[in-house]
Structure 1
Amino acid sequence: MIVKLLQVLHKINLLSPFGLYRFISSIYKEGINIMLLLNIAERTYGDKIALVDGNETLSYKQLSAQCQKLSMVLKESYNIQEGHRVAFLCKNHVSLVQSIFAVSRLGADIYLLNSEMSKSQFNQLVEEHHFNLLVYDYELNAYMEESPYSKANILSYHDTLPAINNLLHTTVAKNQKILRSSTSKIILLTSGTTGKSKEVTHKPSILNFLNPFSTLLNRLNLLTYNTAYIATPIYHGYGIAILFSFIALGKKVVINDRFNAENACRLIREHNVEVITVVPLMIHKMLQTSVEDLKSLVCIASGGAKLNPKLVEEVSRKLGDVLYNLYGTSEAGLNIIATPQDLKYSTHTIGKEIKGVQIKIVHHNKEVEDGKIGQFYIKNKWSMKNGQSPWIKTGDLGYRDSNGYYFLCGRTDDMVVSAGVNIYPIDVEQVLIHHPFIEDVAVIGISDEKYGQTLKAFIQPRANESLHKEALIDWLRPRVAKFQLPKDIVFVHQLPYTALGKIDKKRLG
């Protein structure tokens, strides 16, 4: 592990005598929290641009100074301290990033809330978690007004009302000091926009995160890029992990409070963005908008949802070998990566595990051999720290082939049992998506009196194309097994997606 640490420090220019001094003195000053990353970055990159959003542009020196001041103001005005809980209900913007660093510096726990959640879910969360402070966007003010939350709260941005951006103009005592702290944790609340949320706790640790960080450096060649655009939500584990990685590397990071394909293409063109984090739906929309604006991209890091083979082929054809497929979960973090070369091996693969990850595939409580389908169980040092077992059940079904490549077959609750036969809807989806007239597809299981369950397909045809059930079944029949043929096919104008870019099968029926 020490060798790995030295290798990473060397790659990010911290192994020189001066670099080591910055590293060690930052730990002494800050403690082990995410402000440590920013403190080192500020000393290393100084006036280089760190963060850009729709409102402002900050250098590493400016970002660090503002985060330090904000931590003092939050301590003085809101008494935020070790053990407190601070929640964020925010889109991607500078105020969110500043507040996360400042709160971590104070040793308080950071709760990242899905800004797309319902009001009833928000009410449930504030009653369960007893937050000491809540930072929220003005557009979500109705959530606060209609909730039982009664403790301290503050807007992220506002011209006149109390807000994070206005706190930065507060005068703080010159002799105020903050003791170093290593107690802050990052808590993600999973389950998307429906259902009861589950806490997933991650403790910042230099040694624990060496392997995923080193893998991102090597497989995605992150050291060679200058500008990154985080299009995915920071409140999601994927978004915040990439943010911290880019800050540690001294990159210029572009963020925006909402994704819009036209605006995203403009940002990529104006900032000459080289690497972008996306969910597959974002890639699809940007390709439809302007391929020319995407020509500067040399790394498209896709995660958070399945990557369909047709999209893989389209990206390769229009932009070259730039697409990477990242597989991880909120609980287990990043675990598997498919490089462009891996996607040439198979457009369906999610790649190979990264160093430090153990994966076993389990069916009926027994580990299965290569080629057999089961649930992914994952163990690593950077997974959530509030679990009862070191092995995390992901809920994802899949298999590993004889060459060590992993493939997804859907979620455990997606599997359909028809007349005693296990059917994985993703297998049928991956066949249907290759039909030349199909834009998007989702397959679900439905109840059936005779077989227990059968398949139902929802088809989004390509623009200006017409499809008919009988013709589509005839096309599909020689390509799948008889038991995989959908009993029903429904044509839709647009499939429903969640805020995180996954097809929302709960809304299909």
Structure 2
Amino acid sequence: MELGCLHSRLPIYAKNKPNDIAVVYEDTRRTFKEFYERVNALANSLIEVGVKKGSHVAVYMRNRIEMIEIFYALSTAGAVAVPINYMIEGNDLRTLVNSSDATHAIVEAERLEAFEHVLDVLHTVTSSSTIIVGGSRSYPSYHSYELLVEHGWIEPPNVDVTGKDVAAMIYSSGTTSLPKGIMITHEIMIYRALMSATEWNFNYKDTWLISVPLYHSVGNLASFYLGVTGCKLVLTREFEPSKILNIIQNEKITVAFFVPTQYVVMLQVPDFDDYNLSSLKLLLSAAAPLAESVKKRILEKFKTSLTEYFGCSETSFFLQLRPRDILHKTSSIGHQLEDFEVRLVNDEGLDVGIGEEGEFVVKGKSLFKEYYKLPEVMQNSFLADGWFKTGDMGKVDEDGFYYLLDRKKDMIISGGVNIYPKDIEEIIFTHHSVMDSAVIGVVDEKWGEAVKAVVVLKEGSQIDEEHLMEYCNQKLAKFQRIKYIEFVSSLPRNPSGKILKRELRLRG
């Protein structure tokens, strides 16, 4: 079945409900007709400034309404969107842009200074192929985004885009290694969006809140729920808990995604009970496990259904803990979805038994096309018969519920024994003074590696390393015991909320 392209349904929505609101961002509201015409105008202007079918276009900005317009305009022009983490600067920014082979860049004015620091060392992007969004002054060396939209023809360009064409290059989260360019076609992205709509039961009547970065796979996919289902999107530039609760109330949000840390912070808002959150139908969580106590608080306070899911940028989500099981199997990450084949295998690629540790390997229609220009990495990421190796370790029980143990690369080996940081982190989190934690392995002359906990305390809490270590080690097996504790003000995280343990290990 042909699924079309990510922009294919926009003219239908513009015709059938021209005056309905499609996107909300701060004080800006765009109807479906306005959105469609601006997308076409931008697509035509991008073609005029040299963007061709298949061109890679870097998108370097924080969340803003133009970013969603850009994604759809690039789709309409047949180009490939390359969203880049707006926090990346210097050599890392140069490396990502150059390795993506981007010919053009669309940069918000707030990030222009960081972009200009590397502009002279970019291989194929120049000032004449750079477009500036926003800002309070003119930028004569660059193209103006608003002028491109203003002067562009509002009819769709004559570009033959198919479902097999690549729509986006999404960089991996880089939790254990440097980011890789993940190539996703139109039909793969549409399939992921349709799978989301089916599993989470949303359609054109719903209003989705996007508070996660659009350059990340979660936010990027959510931006296309508008085009695939006709739902309304409400976008925020950043996460501010009181503001988010106010948006849910005023915009009558029905579906929203947050990472565990965001839930914890929202639940601490002093006047939480004063907000009317009755419009919510479903809350979603991923990136890290939700503690049982937090789940109970979410259900009690938000008074709506909660679903946890598990996956990665290469696969989309392939496991889900549905609302009926959220407390029944609270430590599980759920059942496999019907759209996927899921196995747990050992180092030889052989299936492990119930309750035994193995690596998740996956097959399904929503798997990515390839890593960009990384053939060896691509080959090493699959078993011989086409199963994608996720790098995540888990086990399954007799009821078919899966449990996440940890990233394979995060596993600590001490004295020849495998230690999963997640097991230790769960114990640390039970202490009432702890807000957040991450466990890593550090070099140990005797055992090879020793366990180190990096801990964030709740505001106003006081406890020293010795007492926290004693509390945890009494609850841990001897081989799991913590040898070092470091208190920090925050943990480094990627946009989806996953802790960047690679950075913690580099600190030592």
**Which bracket does the TM-score occupy, shorter chain normalised?**
0.7 to 0.9
> Alignment partner for residue 151 of structure 2, among 157, 163, 170?
170
* Matched-pair contact (CA < 8 Å) for 1:37–1:244: no
Q: CA deviation at 1:277?
A: 1.8
Query: Which deviates more, 54-63 or 215-224?
Result: 215-224
> Alignment partner for residue 73 of structure 1, among 26, 45, 51?
45
Q: Does 1:505 align with 2:498?
A: no
Q: Distance in 1 between matches of 2:88 and 2:175?
A: 5
Query: Which deviates more, 360-369 or 242-251?
Result: 242-251
Q: CA RMSD in A?
A: 2.6
Where does residue 183 of structure 2 map in the other structure?
201
Give the secondary structure class of the aligned counterpart of 1:376: strand
> Alignment partner for residue 297 of structure 2, among 295, 314, 330?
314
Give the secondary structure class of the aligned counterpart of 2:186: coil
Q: CA deviation at 1:193?
A: 8.4
Give the secondary structure class of the aligned counterpart of 2:110: helix
Where does residue 363 of structure 1 map in the other structure?
346
Q: CA deviation at 1:501?
A: 2.2
Q: Distance in 2 between matches of 1:127 and 1:223?
A: 39
Q: Distance in 1 between matches of 2:78 and 2:434?
A: 51
Where does residue 368 of structure 2 map in the other structure?
384
Where does residue 333 of structure 1 map in the other structure?
316
The residue type equivalent to 1:104 in the other structure is S
The residue type equivalent to 1:304 in the other structure is A
The equivalences for 1:108-507 within 5 A come to: 108-147=79-118, 148-149=121-122, 150-151=125-126, 152-159=129-136, 160-161=138-139, 162-170=143-151, 172=153, 177-182=157-162, 183-192=165-174, 196-205=178-187, 209-210=190-191, 212-223=192-203, 226-289=206-269, 290-292=271-273, 293=275, 295-296=277-278, 297-365=280-348, 366-386=350-370, 387-388=378-379, 389=382, 390-507=386-503
Residues 196-229 of structure 1: CA deviation (Å, up to 9, x unaligned)? 33111111117x854x445433432223963211
Q: CA deviation at 1:428?
A: 1.1
Q: CA deviation at 1:438?
A: 2.1
Q: Structure 1 residues 172, 38: CA separation in 2 closer, same or farther (over 3 Å shift)?
A: closer
Q: Distance in 1 between matches of 2:200 and 2:206?
A: 13
Q: CA deviation at 1:423?
A: 0.8
Gaps in structure 2 of 5+ consecutive residues: 371-377
The residue type equivalent to 1:378 in the other structure is V
* Matched-pair contact (CA < 8 Å) for 1:45–1:250: no
Give the secondary structure class of the aligned counterpart of 2:268: helix
Q: CA deviation at 1:346?
A: 2.3
TM-score for both structures, normalised by structure 2: 0.87
Q: CA deviation at 1:450?
A: 2.0
* Matched-pair contact (CA < 8 Å) for 1:274–1:298: yes
* Matched-pair contact (CA < 8 Å) for 1:96–1:156: no
Q: CA deviation at 1:99?
A: 1.4
The residue type equivalent to 1:164 in the other structure is Y
Q: Distance in 2 between matches of 1:342 and 1:69?
A: 47
Residues 404-441 of structure 1: CA deviation (Å, up to 9, x unaligned)? 11111111121111112111010011122122332222
Q: CA deviation at 1:266?
A: 2.5
Q: CA deviation at 1:294?
A: 6.6
Give the secondary structure class of the aligned counterpart of 1:185: strand
The residue type equivalent to 2:219 in the other structure is G
* Matched-pair contact (CA < 8 Å) for 2:412–2:449: yes
Query: Which deviates more, 216-225 or 245-254?
Result: 216-225
Query: Which deviates more, 229-238 or 242-251?
Result: 242-251
Q: Distance in 2 between matches of 1:42 and 1:121?
A: 40
* Matched-pair contact (CA < 8 Å) for 2:175–2:501: no
* Matched-pair contact (CA < 8 Å) for 1:229–1:273: yes
The residue type equivalent to 1:428 in the other structure is I
Q: Distance in 2 between matches of 1:145 and 1:343?
A: 48
* Matched-pair contact (CA < 8 Å) for 2:100–2:181: no
Where does residue 30 of structure 2 map in the other structure?
58
Where does residue 18 of structure 1 map in the other structure?
none
* Matched-pair contact (CA < 8 Å) for 1:225–1:274: no
The residue type equivalent to 1:253 in the other structure is L
* Matched-pair contact (CA < 8 Å) for 1:188–1:235: yes
* Matched-pair contact (CA < 8 Å) for 2:22–2:226: no
The residue type equivalent to 1:456 in the other structure is K
* Matched-pair contact (CA < 8 Å) for 1:117–1:193: no
Q: Distance in 1 between matches of 2:66 and 2:135?
A: 11
Q: Does 1:46 align with 2:18?
A: yes
Query: Which deviates more, 158-167 or 57-66?
Result: 158-167
The residue type equivalent to 2:355 in the other structure is G
Give the secondary structure class of the aligned counterpart of 2:54: coil
* Matched-pair contact (CA < 8 Å) for 2:352–2:358: yes
Q: Distance in 2 between matches of 1:362 and 1:397?
A: 9
Q: Distance in 2 between matches of 1:300 and 1:343?
A: 12
* Matched-pair contact (CA < 8 Å) for 1:227–1:274: yes
The residue type equivalent to 2:215 in the other structure is Y
Give the secondary structure class of the aligned counterpart of 2:391: strand
Aligned positions, number: 477
* Matched-pair contact (CA < 8 Å) for 1:116–1:193: no
TM-score for both structures, normalised by structure 1: 0.86
Give the secondary structure class of the aligned counterpart of 1:413: helix
Where does residue 82 of structure 1 map in the other structure?
53
Gaps in structure 1 of 5+ consecutive residues: 6-26
* Matched-pair contact (CA < 8 Å) for 1:276–1:301: yes
Give the secondary structure class of the aligned counterpart of 1:257: coil
Give the secondary structure class of the aligned counterpart of 1:241: helix
Query: Which deviates more, 279-288 or 401-410?
Result: 279-288
